[in-house]
């Protein structure tokens, strides 16, 4: 586990964009695992700048997102399909057919989730998986649980996550109760994992993930067992290390 502590959130995200950008420059047909949430937005802005300046070319990149809410349309302002278009895909030259986000609308959610894993496998696996972290230590939507779930699956969201994510919706009642998420097995199979955590409200989750034991009660703690994992933190998120 390599931990880098930056003074500001912006610096942590710019550094993350450099790692993602370097991945694409060194392997133009990279398979990216992408994340949503407010944390990676500055990293996506920096990647867009690197594209606009002709440094990073997304034309051969393929991407697979981590997760999606169940039951909201793809063009809903809070859907992760929409987030990715607004924050990255519409601003770079990635081909739409090369971008993948789990379906939260399928009539066979579990079947589609397994097909999503199979598609990642068929593409050759993830070269790099970008992650944020929930206040309760979740990654993707892998919530604290008694066991780790390896495969892509349907998740019941915890009250902590609904509470944290209600800021994007009109009210807590509007936050979907379920989501589809990559499992920790697929995340752990990525060649590189890059987790960004910024802000004081992530400090305890970061501390438990880095210093605590590996436990499904803190899903991000499993990353300690990954052979190449980077934690890019700002000082606030690193304040309890």
Question: What residues act catalytically?
Answer: 67, 136, 138, 143
CA 192 to chain centre: 13
Lay out the sheet containing 229-234: strands in order across.
2-6, 229-234, 192-197, 128-131, 31-34, 62-65, 99-100
What are the CA-CA distances from residue 124 to residues 23, 117, 178 (Å)? Answer: 15, 11, 29
Site string for ligand GLP, 164-193 (x = CB under 6 A): -x----------------------------
Residue 104 contacts ligand GLP per CB under 6 A: no
Q: Which of 140, 176, 183, 219 binds ligand GLP (CB under 6 A)?
A: 140
Least distance from ligand GLP to the Cβ atom of residue 39, Å: 3
Nearer of residues 94 and 155 to ligand GLP, judged by Cβ: 155
Residue 35 contacts ligand GLP per CB under 6 A: yes
Look up residue 51 and give its two tokens.
Answer: 């594209």
Please, which residues bridge with residue 188 across strands?
none
Number of Cβ within 10 Å of residue 184's Cβ equals 21
Q: Check: CB of residue 48 under 8 Å from CB of residue 17.
A: no
Residue 132 contacts ligand GLP per CB under 6 A: yes
Q: Which of 39, 103, 192, 221 binds ligand GLP (CB under 6 A)?
A: 39
Angle at which helices 41-52 and 9-26 cross, to 10°: 50
Residue 141 contacts ligand GLP per CB under 6 A: yes
Number of residues that bind ligand GLP (CB under 6 A): 14
| CA trace torsion 107, 165, 207, 146 (10° rounding) | -30
Residue 37 contacts ligand GLP per CB under 6 A: yes
Nearer of residues 98 and 142 to ligand GLP, judged by Cβ: 142
Q: Which residues are at the interface with ligand GLP (CB under 6 A)?
A: 35-39, 66-67, 132-134, 140-141, 161, 165
């Amino acid at each position: 586990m390599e931990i880098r502590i930056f003074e500001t959130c912006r610096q942590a995200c710019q550094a993350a964009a450099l790692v993602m950008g370097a991945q694409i420059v060194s392997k133009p047909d990279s398979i990216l695992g992408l994340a949503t949430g407010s944390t990676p937005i500055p990293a996506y802005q920096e990647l867009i700048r690197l594209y606009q300046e002709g440094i990073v070319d997304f034309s051969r990149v393929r991407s697979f997102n981590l997760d999606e809410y169940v039951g909201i349309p793809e063009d809903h302002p809070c859907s992760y399909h929409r987030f990715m278009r607004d924050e990255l895909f519409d601003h770079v030259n990635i081909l739409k057919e090369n971008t993948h986000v789990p379906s939260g609308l399928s009539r066979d959610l579990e079947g589609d989730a397994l097909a999503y894993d199979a598609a990642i496998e068929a593409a050759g696996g993830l070269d790099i998986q970008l992650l944020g972290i929930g206040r309760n230590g979740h990654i993707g939507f892998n919530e604290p649980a008694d066991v780790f779930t390896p495969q892509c699956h349907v998740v019941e969201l915890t009250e902590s996550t609904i509470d944290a994510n209600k800021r994007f919706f009109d009210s807590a009642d509007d936050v979907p109760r379920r989501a589809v998420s990559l499992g920790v097995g697929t995340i752990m199979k990525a060649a590189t994992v890059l987790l960004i955590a910024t802000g004081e409200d992530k400090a305890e989750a970061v501390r438990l993930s880095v210093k605590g034991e590996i436990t499904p009660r803190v899903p991000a703690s499993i990353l300690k067992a990954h052979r190449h994992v980077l934690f890019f933190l700002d000082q606030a998120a690193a304040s309890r290390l």
